[in-house]
Amino acid sequence: MTAIVIDTNVLLVADGKAPQMTAACVAECLTRLERVKASEQVVLDETRIIMGEYHNKLSANRSPTPGSAFLKWLLQVQAVAKHVSPVIITSLNQEQTLFAEFPADKALEAAFDPADRKFVAAANAHPERPPILESADSKWLGWELSLARHGIRLEVLCRRELEEIRKRKTKRLR
């Protein structure tokens, strides 16, 4: 079984909670989450930092939206090795935004969103170096090459949409 790290926004897009993403992207996220459930292992840290973020953004006890249904499934199978691959990530601060397992790269550290570092740390800590599944945050595209230099890959759903969003943001900043 292959392992995968899942950024929270994949679950949010599946729920339709990312208005900038199209219906086609929502469908792509839904399909990809079903594939994860059927044949992959979700990488989760043993300190539950990733699961904590999922809980902050979704509720496994509310109406059964696709993202919350995935979270509920993950809670039910979190101890099953077939579905979850645990890793140890070492938080270096109280806010849990700095990790020993984050690549030692000053440029990457300076630019990287602190809230997303846990996903990189989890991928880097895993022996397979699984990809990080991403769908709605165009900032990841700017980090893709730097991450690749450290052996960390992205699997970007809705890539074309994210590239367009990134272009628009870049034009606004000029």
What's the gap between Cα 107 and its chain centre? Answer: 21
pLDDT (tens digit per residue) in 1-29: 799 999 999 999 999 999 889 999 999 99
pLDDT (tens digit per residue) in 38-49: 999 999 999 999
Cα-based torsion angle of the residue sequence 98, 163, 156, 55 in order, rounded to the nearest 10 degrees: 50
Question: What's the CA gap between 49 and 81, in Å, rounded?
Answer: 19
What average pLDDT score do residues 28-43 get?
97
Question: What's the CA gap between 121 and 98, in Å, rounded?
Answer: 9
DSSP state of 4: E
What average pLDDT score do residues 133-140 get?
94
Beta-bridge mates of residue 133: 6, 155
Q: What percent of the chain has pLDDT over 90?
A: 84
Question: What's the CA gap between 1 and 4, in Å, rounded?
Answer: 10
| 37 token code pair | 């459930």
pLDDT at 169: 81
CA 82, 148, 92 angle in degrees (round to 5)? 75
Question: What's the CA gap between 59 and 130, in Å, rounded?
Answer: 26
Mean pLDDT is lowest, of 79-83, 115-119, 133-137, 168-172, for: 168-172
Contacts of 76 (CB under 8 A, 6+ apart): none
**Whole-prediction pTM:** 0.94
Q: Are 130 and 36 in contact (CB under 8 A)?
A: no
Question: What's the CA gap between 11 and 98, in Å, rounded?
Answer: 23
Q: What percent of the chain has pLDDT over 70?
A: 98
- Band of the pLDDT at 168, cuts 50, 70, 90? confident
For residue 150, the SS3 value is coil
Average pLDDT, the chain: 93
What average pLDDT score do residues 98-123 get?
93
pLDDT above 80: residue 142: yes
